[in-house]
Structure formats: C-alpha cells, structure tokens
Amino acid sequence: ASASIAPVQKASSQGHSNASKLGLKNSSPKTKHEKQKLPSIVCKRLTATKQPPPPLVISPTEPPPDFYSNAKTYWSQVSPTVDGMLGGYSSLNVPDIEDSHLFLDEFGPVTTAYALDCGSGIGRVTKQLLIPRFNFVDMVEITQSFLDQAKEYIGEEDFDSIGERFCSGLQDFTPPVGRYDLIWIQWVLGHLTDVALIGFLQRCARALSVDGVIVVKENITSGNPDDQLAEATFDELDSSFTRSRKAFLDLFEKSDLTVSGEKLQTNFPTSIYPVRMFALRPRKINISPTTPDTNPALPT
C-alpha cells in the first residue's frame, strides 16, 4: 500500500516525499535572505489598521481547503516503485510484511477466497501479503499510474490472482457488498476526514463476507497505548493526518466495529511514528449469509 511513514523528529518538508507516509516530520531551515524588519512605526500602524487573521484550525474534523485534491496531486508525482510507495524507506518493506503475516496468522479470517487492498499503490501488499494467502485480490487506488504499473510489478503469473482494479479515493469508494473475507487498509486513512473515515469503514463492513475481517494498519501519534491526550498532526506535504490510538478506537466505535486483535509493528526505526495493526469485525450483522453480491462475478 502506498505509505505515509513519519519520523517523530523534525526535518525538512522535502524529506517527506513519502516520508510523510512513514511519519517523518520535517521543517525547512531559515535562509540567509529573510525579509528585513519594517521600521517600528510602520509595524505599529499596520497593527493598528490591520489585525492578523485568526490561525487556521486544521483537524480531521476541519480539514484545510483542497484537502483531497492536494493529496491526489502529491501521489501523482511519486515514483511507481516500492521505494516510492515507502517514501524512500524501502528497508521497511521486509519487517512490515513479516509482521503483517504474523498478524493475519493470529487474527485473520478463516476463509481466504477474496481480499481487498485499500490504497494499494502498485501492489506491494497485494503481491507480498495477500496473493500468497487469498485466491483473488481486488485493488483500490487513487493514482491510475500505480494501478497501471501493478501488472509489471506483481508479475504475469501472480497477476492471474488480481480481480478488479478500482481507481478511486476511499472517500468516494463503495466496495462490492458481501465479497471480501479480508479488507486490508494500510497507510491511507490519514487521507480521510473523520466523517469520511467512518462512512468508508461502514461501507467496508457491508462488503465483508460472513466472518470477514477488516485490518487497519496506520501510524499512531504516540507509542503509549494509554495516551488520551495526543492530538492529530497534519502533514501539509502529502495532505494527511496522523491520529492517536484513542482517536482510532473512537472512530471504530462510531463505525459499529469491534477490535478483535491489536499489535504494535516491530523492528521499525524509533525515528518514525509507531505503527499499530487493528483487526476489526462488525458489531452487527450487516448482511445475511444468502445476500448475493450484486457486483460483477468473481474471477474464475
């Protein structure tokens, strides 16, 4: 999945070129040619005649203008490679996939017919995690060039396991009802507002097969699982939020999902945000076992 990995320490905004997905925090150094200060008398007059605007409040409930379009633009400029998906941190690929396999061993679904990779990018997770476990995998990704690259990256033989490739932002995507034993969502929910995230998870719940599972794997603002105060941070470069564990748990609750398993990603550098995995199941039965899939038939 295309990643937003973010280091906790501050560095330059350019360094995020997917460092945002990995949680890397950056701040640009001051240049030598800063504007000179105006004479104090001018400053006083400006202050008296024109008050500065109030600071812009940015949060997952009050996103900035162009929140979605800025993210789409950012990813359209990223290289369709594993290194591009991981913001230059391709060394994270192996420990990421290893821990994801272990998590599915413990909390994954019993049935392994069909999976969905959300924010799939070129298919990094699809190829290394989902195809080895599931008969068929659908991909949903906002960047068409990533989906176009998927066949070459995944390979001709394994590509037979790919069902549909949807080009869409998750805020606009409705997965086929009752189709998926697993819906995998990694490093992409930061691109959704709270309202859109809840709506998407509710649609995912309806897309699960009987006993299906949703897995969310995302950056968390604090490594302390009991942190009740951590606020969401906003990365202007890729237009994404990093939420606290508590914020995610609250959003899962509002989506009528229960947490059936949770783990912290291991073997990642301490310079990036901690990453947590959550296994989610619908609190209520959204569809009956006999509800047909009204979308295109499964691949044969």
Say if CB 90 and CB 22 are below 8 A apart: no
Residue 229 has pLDDT above 90, yes or no: no
Q: pLDDT category, 13, cuts 50, 70, 90? A: very low
What pLDDT does residue 285 have?
A: 54
Contact predicate 277/215, CB 8 Å: yes
Q: What percent of the chain has pLDDT over 70?
A: 73
Q: Please give the model's pTM, rounded to 2 decimal places.
A: 0.79
The answer to whether residue 12 scores a pLDDT higher than 80 is no
What topology is assigned to 82-282 in CATH? Answer: Rossmann fold (3.40.50)
pLDDT band at 47 (very low <50, low <70, confident <90, very high): very low
Distance CA 50, CA 148 (A): 51
Statement: residue 46 has pLDDT above 60: no
SS3 call for 113 = coil
pLDDT in tens, 140-187: 999 999 999 999 999 999 999 999 999 999 999 999 999 999 999 999
Q: Does position 32 have pLDDT exceeding 60, yes or no? A: no
Residue 171 C-beta-side C-alpha neighbours within 13 Å? 13
Output b/e per residue, 134-146; b: 16+ Cβ within 10 A.
Answer: bebbbbbbbbeeb
Question: How far is the C-alpha of 117 from the C-alpha of 113, rounded, in Å?
Answer: 14
**Poorest-confidence range of 3-12, 21-30, 40-49?**
40-49
Query: Helices (DSSP H) in the chain: which residue ranges?
Result: 40-49, 67-76, 82-85, 93-107, 124-125, 144-154, 156-159, 194-207, 245-254
**Domain range list for the chain:** 82-282
**In this model, does residue 16 exceed pLDDT 50?**
no
CA angle 258, 264, 266 (to 5 degrees): 155
Mean pLDDT, rounded, for 221-243:
83
